[in-house]
Amino acid sequence: MPKRIDDNQPEIVEALRKAGASVQSLASLGKGVPDILIGYGQEHMVLCEIKKPGGKLNPLQVTWHEAWKGGDVVILRSIEDALTLLHTLKGRKT
């Protein structure tokens, strides 16, 4: 059974793609794994959890985030959050 996604995920994914990002859904993995992987600007990959405004991480997500050694997981709650993330990445060189 596929993991349930938040209602705002399709619109956030669409906005990211329209802005030039690659988006891979990871939602079917479950077990606390973030919802999406974003690729942007040839040099950036970011794991993102999508939550409704006011939504909180569930216990599996908290455990996964705390154990992850690959950097922070960004929580996106809106299209504005997603576009702000891309704008920030655009200005950041690796």
User: What is the structure's pLDDT at 57?
Assistant: 95
- Give per-10-residue mean pLDDT for the chain (94 aa): 77 97 94 96 93 94 95 95 94 65
**For the chain, which residues make up each domain, given as ranges?**
9-88
User: What is the structure's pLDDT at 94?
Assistant: 52
Which CATH number does the domain 9-88 belong to among 3.30.70.260, 3.40.50.880, 3.40.1350.10, 3.40.1160.10? Answer: 3.40.1350.10
User: What is the structure's pLDDT at 1?
Assistant: 37
pTM above 0.85, yes or no: yes
User: What is the structure's pLDDT at 79?
Assistant: 97
The contacts of residue 30 (CB under 8 Å, 6+ apart) are: 3, 60
Which of 67, 58, 22, 25 lies closest to 41, judged by CA? 22
Handedness of CA 82, 19, 15, 64 (dihedral sign): negative
User: What is the structure's pLDDT at 42?
Assistant: 85
User: What is the structure's pLDDT at 10?
Assistant: 95
User: What is the structure's pLDDT at 41?
Assistant: 87
